[in-house]
Structure 1
C-alpha cells in the first residue's frame, strides 16, 4: 500500500481525505498525521487509524499527555519535527491541508526530500514561495498536485503538444457576487460565513466572498502553469471548474458537481479515475444552465492585487497573504467590517517595499512584521471606522 502523511487532518480537507481512505482501505496506509488545535478530533483519528505511527502537533504542552495515552505513537513538534517526519518516510505521499502561513514550512520541507509526491491544498505556499517551490521540484525530482478544484480542472485540460493561449479561471463570486461595493457596506457581516455552492471552512468561505481566495488562485495558476495569461470569469453555478483556451481558440473545460472529494481522489489515484458512492453525478433530468461573465476588476479589487503580485517581487505576495490572514481574523473577532478587508489588504501591501525573498526565514520575518504592524494599527480602532 502507498504510505500517506496527512497534515491538517482535523480540518475540512483532512476530514474529506479520511472519508476517501475509509472507502479504499486497501489502497493507502496512513502512517502520520498533523493536527493543530483540535485535540478531540486528533484523538478520534488516532483511535480509528491504527496504522498511524507519527503525529506532528502544534500543541507542545500536550505532547506528554498524548504520548501517555498513545504510547505506540511518536509525537513531534516544530520545524525539526517536520524534517524528521519527512526523512523517516521518504516514499510517502504528503497531503498538506494546513491553513494559512503555517502551511508554508511543511511544503518546503516536504519538497526538500527526493522524489516527493505532494498534494498541496495550502494555497499560501505557492503564492508566497512559488519560485522557490518550482526550484525544489526541479532539483529534487518532486511532483506537486494542486488540491484545488480550479487548478485540478486546468491540470485535466492540459494537452502535451499544445501550449496554452489563456487560462480561464472560474469564480462563483461568493455570497455577494451581485452586490456593488457600496452595497457591501450595508450587509449583515454574518452572511459572509455562508457559501451558495461549496461546503468549506469559515476562513475559505470568507476569502471566497472577498475574492481573496481567487486572487490567491491567480498567483497559484501563474506558478503552476507558467503563464500570466489568466482570465477570471464569474460563474455562479460552480459547475465548470476552469478551462484552457488554445491557440485555435478552442476552449476545453472540466465540469462536475462541486466536490473536493473528487479532486482529492483524482490526485490520490492519478492517473486512474476511481468510482465512489461519495461522488454525485451532474443531474441532466432538469435544465442545467451555466452563466459566465468576465470579472470586473474595479468591483473585485482583490484581482487587481493578484495582478500586482505577478509583476512584482514576492514580498508583495507575502504581504497579500499575511495581511489577509490577519485582517480575516480581525473580522471574525468583530474588530473589522467585511467590506474593509480587501481595502486594508491593499493598504498594507502598499506599505511593503517590493523585494525578492528567497528563503523561508526571509518570508517568515516579513510575515511576522506585517502581522505585528496590523495588530498595532487596529488595537484601539472602532470597527467600521476608516
Structure 2
C-alpha cells in the first residue's frame, strides 16, 4: 500500500494497522516532519519516498528508497508504484492532485483528505472512493437499499463549544488548538472549532452518497459518528469509541477488519447520557454556508482556499479567531460571481491561487 501524509495522525494510524494486518508498505509521502519520516523509513523499508520540500533532502535518510519531491513527485511515484491501495491523508488543497492522479492510475483511493472532495469532487469518481473520515465511514457502515430521508453526521463542538459567545471572536491559536475529544493536526482542530470541518464533511457526504438532505448535530462525546433517517420513520446510528483506527482498518482490509477487535467495544451505559444539540449560528457562523454550498458545491473551491489561507495567518497570530469566518464570507462575495465551469484541475488550481492572493492582501491591509 501507499500512504500519503504518513507523518500525520491518520498516516501514523494507517501504518500501525498495516503492521497488524501484515500489509507491505511500498511508498510513503510526508510533509516536513523528516525526523518521524526517517523513523518510518527505518521501520517499513519502503521502495519509494516523497517529501514536500527539496530543502529537506539533506536530512532525509532514504535507506535505498527512491526519493521524489513535491506534488509532481508524488504523482510520478504513484505511477511507478505497483500497489493498488493509496491512503491519501495529506492535509489541505495539496491533496487534490494526488487524489485525481490515484484514480488516473486506476488505483483504489482511500480518502482522508477532505479538500479533494470539497474543491474537486466533480472531477473524481466518488463511487470508487473508500472514505476514512469517521462520519462518512459511519454512513457507509449504515447504508442500505431502503429509501433514505436524511443523512446525519455529528460534531464534537470543538474547542469553543462552552466558551461564552461574546469571547469567541478574540480567541487565539493556543485556545483553538485544545480539542476536547480528538488528537488531530492543527488545521483540522481549528476547523473543528469554527465548524468548517463539518461544512466540509457535509460536502463530502454529498459527493460520496449523492444526497442533499444532510444535517449535522453536536454530540459531545464523539461516540455517535453518523445516523441515517429512513423514509419509513426509523433511524439507525453508528456508535463507536472516537478512534480513527476503525475506518482506516476497513479501508486497508475490510475482511480482516470485520473479524478483528480493532478498538474496544463501547460501554453501552454511556448511551444513556448521549444527546444531540443543534449547531447555533451565533457560535458557529460558518455553518450558515451549508445550504448555499449544497446548492452549488463548486463554491467549495473558494471556501476552502480562503479558509486555508486565513488559518495560515491565524496560526502566525496575525488575526484573531473571529476573522476566519469574516474572511471566508468576504471571499465568497468577491469570487462567487466569477465562478466558471472549473472543468479541470488547472482551472481549480488557478481559482485557488487567486483566492489565496486576495486573502493575503486583505489580511495585510487589516494589520497594516
> Which TM-score band (shorter chain)?
over 0.9
Aligned equivalents of 2:156, 2:139: Cα separation in 1: 17
Matched, 1:228 2:228: no
Matched, 1:123 2:125: no
Cα distance change on mapping 1:156 and 1:83 into 2, 3 Å:
same
Q: Name the SS of the counterpart of 2:367 in structure 1.
A: coil
Q: Which residue of 2 aligns with 1:36?
A: 31
Q: 1:39: Cα distance to partner?
A: 1.2
Matched, 1:148 2:133: yes
Aligned equivalents of 1:72, 1:83: Cα separation in 2: 20
Show the 5 A alignment for 1:288-299: 288-297=272-281, 299=283
Q: Which residue of 1 aligns with 2:239?
A: 255
Show the 5 A alignment for 1:96-135: 96-114=88-106, 116-134=107-125
Cα distance change on mapping 1:14 and 1:168 into 2, 3 Å:
same
Q: Which residue of 1 aligns with 2:323?
A: 340
1:55-92 CA distance string (max 9 Å, x none)? 111122444774xx536211112444233322223542
Aligned equivalents of 2:301, 2:32: Cα separation in 1: 24
* Cα-Cα RMSD: 2.2
Q: Name the SS of the counterpart of 2:257 in structure 1.
A: coil
**From 56, 66, 72, the counterpart of 2:64:** 72
Q: Which has the higher helix share?
A: 2
Q: Size of the alignment, in residue pairs?
A: 366
Q: Which residue of 2 aligns with 1:327?
A: 310
Aligned equivalents of 1:258, 1:22: Cα separation in 2: 21
Q: 1:272: Cα distance to partner?
A: 4.3
Q: 1:249: Cα distance to partner?
A: 1.5
Is the contact made by 1:166 and 1:230 (CA closer than 8 Å) also made in structure 2? Answer: yes
Q: 1:110: Cα distance to partner?
A: 0.3
Aligned equivalents of 2:318, 2:170: Cα separation in 1: 16
Is the contact made by 1:192 and 1:206 (CA closer than 8 Å) also made in structure 2? Answer: yes
**From 64, 86, 103, the counterpart of 1:94:** 86
Gaps of 5+ in 1: none
1:129-181 CA distance string (max 9 Å, x none)? 111113xx67xxxx31111010000000100x223210011111112224464
Show the 5 A alignment for 1:116-195: 116-134=107-125, 143-159=128-144, 161-179=145-163, 181-185=165-169, 187=171, 189-195=173-179
Q: Name the SS of the counterpart of 1:364 in structure 2.
A: helix
Aligned equivalents of 1:72, 1:374: Cα separation in 2: 42
Aligned equivalents of 1:288, 1:197: Cα separation in 2: 19
Is the contact made by 1:82 and 1:109 (CA closer than 8 Å) also made in structure 2? Answer: no
